[in-house]
Amino acid sequence: MAIGEFELIAKFFTDIGPRSAAIALGIGDDCALIDPPAGRQLALSADTLVADVHFPAHGDPASIAQKALRTNLSDLAAMGAEPLAFTLALTLPAADETWLAGFSHGLRACADEFAIPLIGGDTTRGPQLVISIQIVGSLPRGAALTRAGAQAGDSVFVSGTLGDARAALDYLSTPAALLDDAQRFFLRRYYEPTPRLEFGRALRGLASAAIDISDGFAADLGHILARSDIGAEIDTRRLPLSGALRTRVEAIDFALHGGDDYELCFTAPPQHRAAIVECARATAVPITEVGRVVAEHGLFTWAEQGRRVALNAAGYRHF
């Protein structure tokens, strides 16, 4: 007989992540209870992953769990928040125990790595696989890195490399045995993005605005510019590319418009540059200055002979 709802929760979703003094009550009641740390604000965010929209339905369940939690952790990183807890709402076409064991394994590995406990959720049957995680973090009151605050003269930085996750889309259905090293690297970047939590925290008080790159660099920088009511000039030759992507003709296009990178894009005034470089070094996060914020609205780059042109800011859109 198929496993029941409560048996499923007990078997696959209890004791995921560390115990935490901030969690007064975890899984098993109508609500979990959190004791917010004194003097801090809670940061909340939810992200939903739909099978065959955000990941291939037949992908490795442990990798899918990693991606689901990591994308949520990335939102905390982009606010400069520290992880506190998360909940998991699962919609499953069937209670497939092999799939659930793999998913639970990946979720546990990620929750342990980032020291974040699973404190509740919901489990339902539905026509297709949907994974919805709500994440809770905390940060000192008033210290959040928001999208508003970029000012003319600020530098625009990005962490890590861009476009790798977009490159992975071409190999999502390739059998593992046929993948070369570059393709395996792209897939790792797609399934296991690195939430820049420690670095995001270090940017508090230094960055003027920040966002994590989920829709594509140009689109997400566009969100900072819209919220900050300002523009930017980007030197596309400076976009950070991995060794694996650099040789591809689509490299710049993927870096500008490919989604799913989960790197940080942030702005900062020149007087904080040295401190930011030091934070990047201390947290071992590579950063690249790719442009600057300008008073004129829009997103610009340079073409031949130094001619300034508008940069298409389109990213991934669901509707």
Residues interacting with Mg ion, by CB under 5 A?
A: 122
Residues, the chain, total? 319
Told to check if 191 binds ligand ADP by CB under 6 A, we report no
Q: Which residue of 41, 123, 146, 183 would you call a contact of ligand ADP, by CB under 6 A? A: 123
Interface size with ligand ADP, residues (CB under 6 A)? 13
Told to check if 122 binds ligand ADP by CB under 6 A, we report yes
Q: Which is nearer to ligand ADP, 7 or 52 (CB)?
A: 7
Beta carbon of residue 257, minimum distance to ligand ADP (angstroms, whole number): 34
Beta carbon of residue 14, minimum distance to ligand ADP (angstroms, whole number): 8
22-51 positions binding ligand ADP, by CB under 6 A: 27-30
Give the separation between CA 256 and CA 152, rounded to whole angstroms.
22
234-253 positions binding ligand ADP, by CB under 6 A: none
Q: Which residue of 34, 68, 84, 90 would you call a contact of ligand ADP, by CB under 6 A? A: 90
| Contact partner at residue 116 from ligand ADP, Mg ion, none, CB < 5 to 8 Å by partner kind | none
What amino acid is encoded at 89 in this protein? A
Give the separation between CA 316 and CA 243, rounded to whole angstroms.
24
Beta carbon of residue 135, minimum distance to ligand ADP (angstroms, whole number): 13
SS3 307: coil
Told to check if 13 binds ligand ADP by CB under 6 A, we report yes
Percent composition of the chain: helix, strand, coil (DSSP 3-state, to 5):
35, 25, 40
Residues 6+ apart with CB under 8 A from 184: none
Beta carbon of residue 126, minimum distance to ligand ADP (angstroms, whole number): 13
Structure tokens at 197: 């939590």
Looking up tokens 């115990």, which residue turns up?
19
Q: What are the C-alpha distances in Å from 230 to residues 264, 294, 299, 301?
A: 19, 7, 9, 15
287-316 positions binding ligand ADP, by CB under 6 A: none
Question: Which region holds residue 201: left if phi is over 0, alpha if psi is between -120 and 50, else beta?
Answer: alpha
Told to check if 121 binds ligand ADP by CB under 6 A, we report yes
Q: Which residues bind ligand ADP (CB under 6 A)?
A: 9, 13, 27-30, 88, 90, 118, 120-123
